[in-house]
Structure 1
Amino acid sequence: MALTPERIDAIAGEAGRLLGEGQRLDAVVRAVKAANPGLYVAGTQTSVMAEEPFREEERFSLFLVDGSQHCWVLTRKPEAAAGILIAERDEDL
């Protein structure tokens, strides 16, 4: 399932709104999953990510996930993405 720029914008908007309201990351991930059936969605903290994000927002970064091979890998190509990783910024950064 390819991710369009509009879908990525919608996901980023929803995640930003929920995090801005004080929602915990796990609740944000559940909400994004519910709004995007069939899309792999996970969450983590930015401190565990060594790669450059696909997109940076005020409260989080977005990473795209390609699941077409044996192992999940990060990608910068929305047309190859089967999922999204929401990486919340660490408070102490």
Structure 2
Amino acid sequence: MGLQPERLAAIAAAVDDATAPDLAARLHAQFPDLHVTVCADDDIIGARPVLEREGFNLYLVDGGGHCLGLTSDPAAASGVVVAWVEAEEG
């Protein structure tokens, strides 16, 4: 399937306009062909986000194999992880 830069920008814009409690449902409704996961950014270990915004990072999901995994290849991506970034105190 793959995710082009314009589509990633549209997903990021939808996240900017959404609230955390209903974010996954809203993204599923707007992008029904994507795998969508929402978590805290500190739950993601060993991967780099493909898009960083104030308050969240986007990671790509590759669902082409037996199991889902994170990828940095937009051409292989079939979904996204929206990972909330906690504001640093101080």
Fold-level similarity (TM above 0.5): yes
Matched residues in 2 for 1:17 and 1:68: separation? 29
Aligned to 2:39: 44
Once the two structures are TM-superposed, the CA of residue 57 in structure 1 deviates from its matched residue by 0.6
Matched residues in 1 for 2:10 and 2:24: separation? 14
Aligned residues: 88
Once the two structures are TM-superposed, the CA of residue 92 in structure 1 deviates from its matched residue by 4.7
Structure-1-length-normalised TM-score:
0.86
Matched residues in 2 for 1:56 and 1:72: separation? 21
Once the two structures are TM-superposed, the CA of residue 53 in structure 1 deviates from its matched residue by 1.1
Identity %: 34
Tell me how large the CA RMSD over aligned residues is: 1.4
Structure 1 segments (4+ residues) deviating >6 Å:
none
Structure 1, unaligned runs of 5 or more: none
Structure-2-length-normalised TM-score:
0.88
